[in-house]
Amino acid sequence: MNDLHGKTAVITGAASGIGKAMAQRFATAGMTVVACDVEEPALAACVADLEELGGEVVGVNLDVADADAVDAMATQAIERFGAVHVVCNNAGVGGRGLTAGPGELQLEDWQWVMGVNFWGVVNGHRSFLPHMLANGEGHIVNTASMAGHLPSHSAYGASKWAVVGITEGLHNSLAGSGVGVSCLCPGWVNTQIGEADRNRPEWAAGNALDEPSTASEAGMAFIREQLASGMDPSDVADLVHDAVVNENFWIFTDMAMVSSLQPRFDHVLAASNPTPTSLFKR
């Protein structure tokens, strides 16, 4: 995919953060952009910003956990533009699913976070891969996280481990097909992932009046602090663009975090008990 000009990119979670930055980066590369998000006002603002860049852009209000809605979006995009070449399955949520400890997470937390973070990726695969494979061309970018490499008993961690696993499996399965695959595993990036509860649907509210534990509150405070000082999303988008063009699988933003995984792999190879660790520790 070394020539992106005139081609079409579909990006979910495009209204803010990494998704919006990717939409802007691909638009400046001359691509038509289908920007999808569940947050309508922010999506409208994103579309307006992209239009100022001079490219063609379509905004789609979309819940990626809704398989039928993703299928409909894919059908419309393919019919309108003839082909879709890059799909960034980027939509993600965290909220209290980031830090709630064992026994604190409610069923609705698991269902909402897994629905967006995991099933959103699966739905993107189902809807676009047959089209890409038939054309023998395309690239899938799945947004995971460094949380997908460090064990945690959380809905967010579980969803990101799943994304890492199925993305690497997809890469292996598609070898020689003409369809490339990348797995984006950001460290700390200056986004609103810690405020994702703003988009939590009513059915997933659960007993939202429960007071968070002291540990959970401290964890969220730490996360917000790290996010605020994290990498600019535009720098992440540059890495994503380059990975698509150069057909790179892993997209890491913090190699120090990657290096910190070594003790875990040593324990696995030695079949020894793991040493407790966390992405969210100071």
pLDDT one-digit tens code per residue, 75-126:
999 999 999 999 999 999 987 766 666 677 888 989 999 999 999 999 999 9
Looking at residue 194, its pLDDT comes to: 78
The residue annotated as part of the active site, out of 112, 128, 156, 161, is: 156
pLDDT at 229 over 90: no
pLDDT at 220 over 90: no
Looking at residue 278, its pLDDT comes to: 64
Looking at residue 281, its pLDDT comes to: 52
The 3-state secondary structure of the chain, one letter per residue: CCCCCCCEEEEECCCCHHHHHHHHHHHHCCCEEEEEECCHHHHHHHHHHHHHCCCCEEEEECCCCCHHHHHHHHHHHHHHHCCCCEEEECCCCCHHHCCCCCCCCCHHHHHHHHHHHCHHHHHHHHHHHHHHHHHCCEEEEEECCHHHCCCCCCHHHHHHHHHHHHHHHHHHHCCCCCEEEEEEECCCECCCHHHHHHHCCHHHCCCCCCCCCHHHHHHHHHHHHHHHCCECHHHHHHHHHHHHHHCCCEEECCHHHHHCCHHHHHHHHHCCCCCCCCCCCC
Tell the residue number behind the tokens 């990036």, with chain if given: 189
Q: 241 or 212: which carries more pLDDT confidence?
A: 241
In a domain, 209, yes or no: yes
Residue 137, C-beta contacts closer than 8 angstroms, at least 6 positions apart: 1, 83, 85, 178, 179
Mean pLDDT score of the chain? 91
In a domain, 276, yes or no: no
In a domain, 282, yes or no: no
Active site includes 156? Answer: yes
Under 8 Å between Cβ of 13 and 181: no
pLDDT at 1 over 60: yes
pLDDT at 231 over 70: yes
pLDDT at 28 over 80: yes
CA–CA dist 126, 140 (Å, integer): 12
pLDDT one-digit tens code per residue, 160-216:
999 999 999 999 999 999 999 999 999 999 998 878 888 899 898 866 545 666 766
- Which CATH number fits the domain that encloses residue 183? 3.40.50.720
- Count up the domains in the chain and report the number: 1
Under 8 Å between Cβ of 206 and 107: yes
Tell me the whole-structure pTM to 2 decimals. 0.93
In a domain, 163, yes or no: yes
In a domain, 272, yes or no: no
- Grade residue 36 by pLDDT with cuts at 50, 70 and 90: very high
Looking at residue 282, its pLDDT comes to: 42
> Percentage of the chain with pLDDT > 90?
73
Looking at residue 209, its pLDDT comes to: 46
pLDDT one-digit tens code per residue, 39-65:
999 999 999 999 998 889 999 999 999
In a domain, 249, yes or no: yes
Looking at residue 100, its pLDDT comes to: 65
- Grade residue 224 by pLDDT with cuts at 50, 70 and 90: confident
The residue segments making up the domain with residue 127 are 8-256
